[in-house]
Structure 1
Amino acid sequence: MTSKRVLVAYGSRHGATAGIAEEIGRSLRADGLDADVVAADTVTDVSGYDGVVLGGALYAGHWNGKARRCARRNAEQLRKRPVWLFSSGPVDSSAERHDIPPVRGVDRQMRRLHAREHVTFGGSVTAATPGRFARAMVRHGKGGDFRNPERIQSWAHRIGTELTTTR
């Protein structure tokens, strides 16, 4: 029996969301799935996958454009398979304290793609993050890495279980 193939695609500006996608991919592989982790702007065909996880960074309440365009470009095929969405962004512990509902644009994608679930993970803005805005946040004590690997792994394992127990 061949293992199920899962695509983990992400839209990331500075790498924090890519890191979440990599963690999801590692967890799915640990569950025996064949997981490919790729940038959302490179995805042109999802037909070879049994499931898709698509994530994007949040900036000012909007999902990363690369993730949005990936969803739009592949919508017909995405509707034919299990899809999970994630966002990353809050640069505080709010994603740990309570579920954060998807922003309006992501909610629209969820309905359009018939996505099974959406989760928001904490983001990361550190001294290594490029850009004037990031430097100002860190300088004013508003930065940090709020990604929680255990929470990411737990969510990915739920996806892995769902994919391996369904026909």
Structure 2
Amino acid sequence: MAGTVLVTYGTTNGSTARIAETVADVLRKEGLTVETLPARSVAGVTSYDAVVVGGGLYAGRWHKDARRFVRRHRHELAERPVWLFSSGPLDATASERDIPPVPGVRKAVAELDAREHVTFGGCLEEGAKGWVARMILRNGKGGDFRDFTAIETWAAHVADDLTRG
């Protein structure tokens, strides 16, 4: 596939942005042209041949910027290959088993006929924004549970899918 891939994301504290950048780096290494942008700053998707959308999970919901992006661009997204990812569990569960998408993401997968969805572990560290985040940290439940090897493996799978066809 020739063309450009958009990797976009919704994040509050930057953890999901780092996952998106990792995905983009792998796609670039595989020879694809990639743009990485926060979901709230994407004006349109018609100039992209494929899209990867990621969102942090907060209280069982995908980040509002990711939700709004999918809703705003749903018709154009349905016309091109789309992959979705979530980040969020603040424990090892995402590395131990496949975590199904939350209901809003499951709906997006169906509406967009997305190629795939995957959930990666999240990251919540000192200095995080938001009352809930601070409470989680205060209760000792924070940490970095992102598995960058798994993220890179998934991104290579996406790249393979795009370059095959």
Normalised by the length of structure 1, the TM-score is: 0.94
Deviations 1:127-163 (A, max 9, x none): 1323343333223221100011111111011010110
Give the letter aligned to residue 142 of structure 1.
Answer: K
How far the C-alpha of 1:42 sits from its partner, in A, is 1.2
- 2: CA distance between counterparts of 1:21 and 1:109? 18
Contact 2:87–2:120 under 8 Å retained in 1: yes
Partner in structure 1 of residue 163 of structure 2: 164
Q: Which whole-Å deviations, capped at 9, do the CAs of 1:20-75 have from their partners, x for residues lacking one?
A: 10110111111111111100011121111111000111111011111011001111
* Equivalent residue, structure 2, for 1:128: 127
Match of 1:5 in 2: 4
**Which whole-Å CA distance do the structure 2 matches of 1:32 and 1:4 have between them?**
11
Asked if structure 1 preserves the Cα contact closer than 8 Å seen for 2:8 and 2:37, the reply is: yes
Q: What secondary structure sits across from 1:7 in the alignment?
A: strand
How do residues 1-167 of structure 1 correspond to structure 2 at under 5 angstroms?
3-166=2-165
Q: Return 5+ residue gaps in structure 2 as ranges.
A: none
- Over aligned residues, Cα RMSD in angstroms? 1.3
Distance in 1, Cα, partners of 2:90 & 2:135: 13
| CA contact 1:10–1:54 (8 Å) conserved in 2 | yes
Rounded to whole Å, the distance in 2 between the matches of 1:20 and 1:26 is 10
* One-letter identity of the residue aligned with 1:11: G
Report the Cα distance in structure 1 between the residues aligned to 2:71 and 2:135, rounded to whole angstroms: 34
State the SS of the aligned residue for 1:136: helix
Unaligned runs of 5+ in 1: none
Q: How far apart, in 1, do the equivalents of 2:133 and 2:104 lie?
A: 24
Aligned-pair CA distance for 1:126: 1.0
Task: Give the Cα–Cα distance (whole angstroms) in 2 for the partners of residues 125 and 43 of structure 1.
Answer: 25
Q: Identify which range, 121-130 or 157-166, moves more after superposition.
A: 121-130
Q: Which residue type is aligned with residue 132 of structure 2?
A: F
* Residues 54 and 86 in structure 2, CA contact (< 8 A), matched pair in contact too: yes
Contact kept, 8 Å, 1:8 with 1:21, in 2: the verdict is yes
Distance 1:141 1:72 in 2: 35
Paired residue type of 2:5: V
SS at match of 1:155: helix
Amino acid across the alignment from 1:120: T
